Amino acid sequence: MKLSQLRAIVAIAERGNFSEAALELQLTQPAVSHAIATLEEELGVPLFARGRHGAVLTPAGERILYHARQALQNLEMIQREANLHKGLHGGHVRIAAFRSVATHLLPKAIAKFHDKFPEVAVTIIERPAYLDVEQSLREGRADIGITYLPTSNEFEAWEILRDEYVALLPPKAKISSPQITWEDIAPYSPVLLSCLPCGKSLHNHIKNLAPFINTIGDIQEDSTIVSMVNQGLRAAILPRLAAAPIPQGVQAYSLPIPLERVMAVAVLSNGLHVPAVFTFLEMLRKFDFYSLTKLTY
């Protein structure tokens, strides 16, 4: 039994199919399939039921998944204990974040940290949404997460950035004044991100202030939404950072009544952190994320 096989079980269970698990593990799909098939042969039980709708854990697979996660978490704890004795002459900092933060904010912060501590490895773990970021913290797969406020009491968190929502209109849209109105947006049935809590807060915002607007909220990728607007298919309402880079021609307006998402750095309140993580957190507390948004916008 190999650690790579345990990682494959966890990835397939979380992603629901072999192809997405292979992407996460940075392996080919045949390599992941071979790893699971070899393990199933070794254990003598099937771990997944394969079908048209992906891979579903068998009853035996569900029990083995629990132990696989425990084994991988124990391995991480062994590595952390070793890193505690390395100080800042080594170690590893893992940061979980959603795409817009991973793309536009973290690389500059990590580069600044590397200037002072080049021997510390820093890894970005890109997750689809804030819930996945927080779950990565709970499972010990990340040391630091970028999430939204408010968050639960299990995390110690502090604000780093307020990101306003903007209305994106197609290039050929005709707006008569510099300030957009809800009536200007309504004919385009704007697309909203389906993630929570940002999607829920925006939906409630529109419902309370402009209930006559019909919205679509079943798209998870912000880049897909921006592309739809650029092609003249619909309007959209997105956090400005998620919309970046806004294509030339797409019209961006502040909402008639402003709304923001509040982003924060979070760690487990009772987590065991190596010195490198504490030092990185101190750097994040002092880092000016607003200066990066000026360049991005």
Beta bridge partners of 163: 261
Provide the 10 A C-beta neighbour count for residue 115. 8
Q: 44-98: per-residue pLDDT in tens?
A: 999 999 888 789 999 999 999 999 999 998 988 887 777 666 666 778 899 999 9
Q: How many CA atoms lie within 13 A of 237 on its CB side?
A: 35
176 belongs to a structural domain: yes
Q: 226-251: per-residue pLDDT in tens?
A: 999 999 999 999 999 999 999 999 99
CATH number at residue 245: 3.40.190.290
Q: 113-131: per-residue pLDDT in tens?
A: 998 888 899 999 999 888 8
Q: Decide which of 255 and 115 is more confident.
A: 255
Q: How many CA atoms lie within 13 A of 265 on its CB side?
A: 20
Of 84, 103, 130, the one marking the end of a domain is: 84
Q: Please report which confidence band the pLDDT of residue 266 belongs to, taking 50, 70 and 90 as the band edges.
A: very high
In the chain, the amino acid numbered 57 is L
Q: What is the pLDDT of residue 51?
A: 83
Pick from 189, 193, 146: nearest CA to 169: 189
CATH number at residue 72: 1.10.10.10
Q: What is the pLDDT of residue 26?
A: 83
Tokens at residue 185, please? 């947006």
Q: What is the pLDDT of residue 195?
A: 65
219 belongs to a structural domain: yes
Q: Please report which confidence band the pLDDT of residue 198 belongs to, taking 50, 70 and 90 as the band edges.
A: low
53 belongs to a structural domain: yes
Tokens at residue 171, please? 């290039």
285 belongs to a structural domain: no
Q: What is the DSSP letter of 120?
A: S
Q: Please report which confidence band the pLDDT of residue 272 belongs to, taking 50, 70 and 90 as the band edges.
A: confident
**Mean pLDDT for the chain overall:** 90
The domain in which residue 69 lies consists of: 1-84
Q: What is the DSSP letter of 247?
A: P
182 belongs to a structural domain: yes
Q: How many domains does the chain have?
A: 2
139 belongs to a structural domain: no
Interatomic CA distance for residues 62 and 39, integer angstroms = 15
Of 65, 84, 103, the one marking the end of a domain is: 84
Beta bridge partners of 51: 54
pTM value surpassing 0.85: no
